[in-house]
Amino acid sequence: MSTDEFWKSKIAEVSSTLERADPKPAISCHDLTASALASTIDHTLLRPDATRDQVAELCDEAVRYGFAAVCVRVDFVALAVARLQDAPATKVACVVGFHEGTHATAAKVAEAQAAVAAGAAELDVVLNRETVQAGTLASAHEELKALRSAAPPPVVLKLILETSQLSRDEVIAATVIAGYAGFDFVKTSTGFCGRGASVEDVLLMNRVATALSQRDDLGEFKGVKMKVKASGGVRSLEDAKKMLDAGAERIGTSGGIRIMKDYLGEGSSEPAGSGY
């Protein structure tokens, strides 16, 4: 079992290579089509008071616009899967450990397994950021490995960092640990705590992910670049383009319809939403 000192050393190694990483945006906004934009959006409804009718409408909207996924709480996964059964391109994502991230590892693993059993193809897991802030990095990594084991590929795992609550060094540390645990994405925010995503967060996370992809010690994950999901405060087409230009490949937002209507020049009566 790795130690905290092992992870501090590993993180320092990666940090020393960041200036050479030279990340590039995966998605160009210069020739962005409507379908390409829609395919970056996780259409999201995570309010505690959400209803079954609202989740059904969320799914119908996702199909109409061609969104990548709908993101819901575990109680609504089965409903969303059933609603999207004739639209395989739109996946069902479920949050795990939402939104504080301080749930026991066993509880997170059980929630992840329940979501996958109900049909979720993607899991957005909240980091227990206290482990990173306290320097108990081995514990943080063990939890993420347990979740990866509980939900192996092709399930897509995204780690929500809550970047507004972390220092720059802590964002780097969390991203490194996620990479070594085999996560597919690192994600900025829950949308329920702090300021949400920033361009600076996305740039940094993308740089770390690029540096990791150039290392030889990631075992089965060698050469695979983690992606970045921006969420929290992404409410407009302009917001979305800024995040894509910074290197995000997925946008988590409750404002996806407004973003698409902005792109299509239709105007929108849609509320701005929380931006999650």
Reported as half-sphere exposure (CB side, CA atoms, 13 A), residue 207 has a value of 21
128-144 pLDDT, tens digit per residue, is 999 999 999 999 999 99
182-203 pLDDT, tens digit per residue, is 999 999 999 898 898 999 999 9
Q: What pTM did the predictor assign?
A: 0.95
- The set of catalytic residues is 187, 229
Which residues, including other chains, have CB under 8 Å from residue 226's CB and lie 6 or more apart? 175, 178, 179, 183, 184, 185, 186, 209, 212, 213
CATH superfamily of 4-264: Aldolase class I (3.20.20.70)
pLDDT at 1: 65
Q: Bigger pLDDT: 67 or 221?
A: 67
Domain ranges of the chain: 4-264
Angle between helices 168-180 and 4-15 (to 10 degrees): 110
Closest CA to 11 of 178, 153, 203: 178
Residue 270 has pLDDT above 80, yes or no: no
Strand partners, 71: 44, 93
Task: Report the C-alpha gap between 233 and 216 in whole angstroms.
Answer: 36
**Share above pLDDT 70 across residues of the chain, in percent, rounded to a whole number:** 96
**Share above pLDDT 90 across residues of the chain, in percent, rounded to a whole number:** 90
Task: Report the C-alpha gap between 194 and 79 in whole angstroms.
Answer: 30
Residue 125 contacts residue 102 (beta carbons within 8 Å): no
Q: Bigger pLDDT: 90 or 223?
A: 90
Q: What is the mean pLDDT of residues 28-45?
A: 96
